[in-house]
Structure 1
Amino acid sequence: METDAIVVMVTASSEDEAVAIAALLVRDHLAACVSLFPVSSIYTWDNKVQNEPEWQLMIKTQQDKFADLETKVRELHTYDVPEIIALPVTAGSMPYLNWISTQVQS
């Protein structure tokens, strides 16, 4: 099964920031759906190991929307270097994949 669907992972510093980013991506048809959930992230920043609460955005979209989505996230995000990574969807329910396509093409 070939699909152009991708899942883009973005972390945000707060629930408010995550909701704001998600809402604009869906409104602008850059994402069909964004799932949000709290996470705890451990990473190195400024040569120190950080342990911070964050909000994970799991963004469902299509490959051809990635560049515009990345630009929009960078405009809205408070981090200097936000996580913006795309994972391919190698298989899925065709009705759902078709729905994603319809939503981001609107």
Structure 2
Amino acid sequence: MYITVFITAPDRDSGRKIARHLLERRLAACVNMTPVSSMYWWEGKIEEADEVLLVVKTTTDKLDQLVKEAKAVHPYQVPEVIAVPVVGGLAEYLDWVRRETHA
């Protein structure tokens, strides 16, 4: 029922734009943003980049629309947007996530 979605973005401004877009559409209850150093394969070679990581809290029924909206405003050609299940947590917090994404 609850998921955490990870999205990387090239910089803080892009990350804030994506986060605000998702929040305004009630696709996320909360988005944390933190700097990360990334290493990855791209077009046949290993790349390195300083990015920001968005940690998005939402519900599973919002995932398809969240992916669509994140891709629409993301500057990357193939952005990282991956979801992992939340297997538990503070009931009051999870209730809050559900309320804020279903308002």
| Shorter-chain TM-score tier | over 0.9
- Choose the corresponding residue for 1:33, options 26, 30, 33: 30
Q: Which residue identity lines up with residue 64 of structure 2 in the other structure? A: A
> What is the TM-score with the length of structure 1 in the denominator?
0.95
1:1-106 equivalent positions in 2, closer than 5 A: 4-106=1-103
Identity rate, percent: 39
Q: Which residue identity lines up with residue 62 of structure 1 in the other structure? A: T
The gaps in structure 2 that reach 5 residues or longer are: none
- Separation in 2 of the partners of 1:68 and 1:51? 29
> Matched residue of 1:21: which SS?
helix
Deviation at 1:90, TM superposition (A): 0.2
The gaps in structure 1 that reach 5 residues or longer are: none
Map Cα deviations across residues 31-56 of structure 1 (whole Å, 9 max, x no partner): 00000000000001111111100000
Q: After the TM superposition, which parts of structure 1 deviate over 4 Å for at least 4 consecutive aligned residues?
A: none
Map Cα deviations across residues 42-84 of structure 1 (whole Å, 9 max, x no partner): 0011111111000000000000000000000010011111111
Q: What number of residue pairs does the alignment pair up?
A: 103
- Separation in 2 of the partners of 1:51 and 1:59? 23
Deviation at 1:89, TM superposition (A): 0.3
**Over aligned residue pairs, what C-alpha RMSD do you find?**
0.5
